[in-house]
Structure 1
Amino acid sequence: MNHNINIPIRAARRAGAVIIRYLEQRKDVKVDIKGKNDFVSEVDRQAEAEIIEVLRKAYPDDAIIAEESGNYEADSDYQWIIDPLDGTTNFLHGHPYFSVSIALKYKKRLEQAVIYDPLRDELYTGIRGKGALLNDRRMRVSGLSGLQGALLGTGFPFKIPHHFECYMNTFKALHPQVSDIRRAGSAALDLAYVAAGRLDGFWEIGLQKWDFAAGVLLIQEAGGLVSDFSGGQNYLKTGNIVAGSPKVFKGILQSIQPHLSESLKV
């Protein structure tokens, strides 16, 4: 591959600078409603524009899937998957948990990943076959032998409320078995935390591919496992994801499967 990881790193840092610049003036930020419980701000759009400018300057022939501006179709095997501000609601409330997420897919495989936490200046990077790093230090998923003592991350399906009862059943199945469960509001950063061993596992229903594409590769390169709810590899299509260190991953999957509706088992 002729794609340099320093390019998406530069793009993520530029987007992060936009986010931080607006943070103290966030109450004056223009916000539009995309749908129920789904917001987009001028910060999202400006951060995304910064990312696209960097990527298109370096790789003008690549395709881009971006959360806010849609698709830049191209006849290319290279496809960038971008979330300029994962955790917009957190940002708008000054809740300090949000991130920039950029992934590169070549044909059907994720090849590069960058997740940037601009508040903490923490940069998570991964390259297929070369491992995953947090600020230049190698990341490994946690070594827990099962769910006992695990700290899990998750997200409520607030955009798809018809799945909420099913989700709560999975939550009830897992909660008695683990140390605790966190719902922090940025799936990309949650997945980066799994790769770094700060969370032992994660599950969520109905994510968009830009929410988790980069995080998936980080976890895989840090020694973890990722699947859809059936245990397969169709998560980029379904948006349903289970991730974690190997034995925690297995425990999550086995615990939630009996509580899934038929539509979520595919």
Structure 2
Amino acid sequence: MAEIPLSVSGKTAMQVAIDVSYKAGEILLGRFYQAKEISMKGSNDFVTNVDKESEAFIMAELAREFPDMGLLGEESAGARPDEGYLRIVDPVYGTRNYAWGIPFVSLVVGLALDGEALVGVNHDPMCNEMFHAERGKGAFLNDDPIHVSDRPNLSKSVVGFDLSYAGDDGATNGLQVIQAVLNDVGSTPIMGSAALGISYAAAGRYDIYFDHRLEPWDQVAGLAPDRGGRRRRHRPRRQSSRVV
């Protein structure tokens, strides 16, 4: 793997991502109990004024530190996710939760090269938890190493889920998966944040995490190989009501 260049101020990509995530987290905390402007950016797809404020701040900081790298934000257009170095941002992951005052939310800042995630930071400002991983260097929660669950018994496992709101059949497929495993596992929470779901699986809080649809910011939040886990894509058979 090529050595990741330092920022303009001489920081590593990981340090920049962590620093900007802490600062943006203060924005989320400061606005959490305030009334929010909620608008629609697509079918069943919400955005708040805090999403936009947080992303503008993060993008400006990243552009200042890495002016030659592309930027891809969840709330704004950007470079293609498979070309060169790319900073990837989701400024409020769990917008529905955040907009309705549910404190299960995070923000994601990552770096990819030619479509491969190299650095991933997922910051939960509500719990002051910073999940971070760099490819080949392991994964951490704050300063402590983390690892996926090694629980061998599915009946005692916590299987986290989230459902797609993209207008496709993701929600239906997700509910089919839940129905298929409901009686065989210990718990099936649906929390409303794929980024935190992935990080919880990385830290062993969830034994398994499932989401029908993942975006580039989900991928940098994952970096599953550096957390001892595996990602697996699943495509249900349309002819069958049973999800395998």
Q: TM-score range by the shorter chain?
A: 0.7 to 0.9
In 1, the alpha carbon distance for the partners of 2:212 and 2:38 equals 25
The answer to whether structure 1 residue 119 and structure 2 residue 126 are counterparts is yes
- Tell me which stretches of 4 or more aligned residues in structure 1 moved more than 4 Å: 72-76
**Contact 1:61–1:76 (Cα < 8 Å) also in 2:** no
Alignment of 1:53-92 (within 5 A): 53-72=60-79, 77-92=84-99
The structure 2 residue matched to 1:214, chosen from 220, 230, 244, is 220
Q: Which amino acid aligns with 1:216?
A: G
Gaps of 5+ in 1: 231-258
Question: Residue 164 of structure 2 corresponds to which residue in structure 1?
Answer: 157
Deviation at 1:170, TM superposition (A): 1.5
User: Can you list the C-alpha shifts for 1:52-111, whole angstroms capped at 9, x where unaligned?
Assistant: 111111110101110111104699621111100001111111111000011211123211
Shift of residue 260 of structure 1?
A: 3.5
Report what 1:177 is aligned to. Answer: 184
Q: Which amino acid letter does the alignment assign opposite residue 260 of structure 1?
A: R
Q: TM-score with structure 1 length normalisation?
A: 0.81
Q: Which residue of 2 aligns with 1:261?
A: 238
Q: Which runs of 5+ in 2 are unaligned?
A: 7-11
Cα displacement (A) at 1:132: 0.3
How many residue pairs get aligned? The number is 231
**1:73/1:173 Cα in 2 relative to 1: closer, same or farther (>3 Å)?**
closer
Moved more, 88-97 or 71-80: 71-80
Percent identity over paired residues: 29
In 2 relative to 1, CA 74–101 (structure 1 residues): closer, same or farther, beyond 3 Å? closer
Structure 2: distance between partners of 1:177 and 1:160: 29
Question: CA-to-partner distance for each residue in 1:191-247, whole Å, 9 max, x for gaps?
Answer: 11111111111111123222x122221x321101112116xxxxxxxxxxxxxxxxx
CA distance 1:134–1:61, shift in 2 (3 Å):
same
Q: Which amino acid aligns with 2:158?
A: L
Alignment of 1:148 with 2:180, yes or no, is: no
Counterparts of 2:129 and 2:76, CA distance in 1? 26
- Higher helix fraction (1 or 2): 1
1:226 lines up with 2:203 in the alignment: no
Q: Is 1:8 equivalent to 2:10 in the alignment?
A: no
Could you tell me the TM-score, scaled by structure 2's length?
0.88
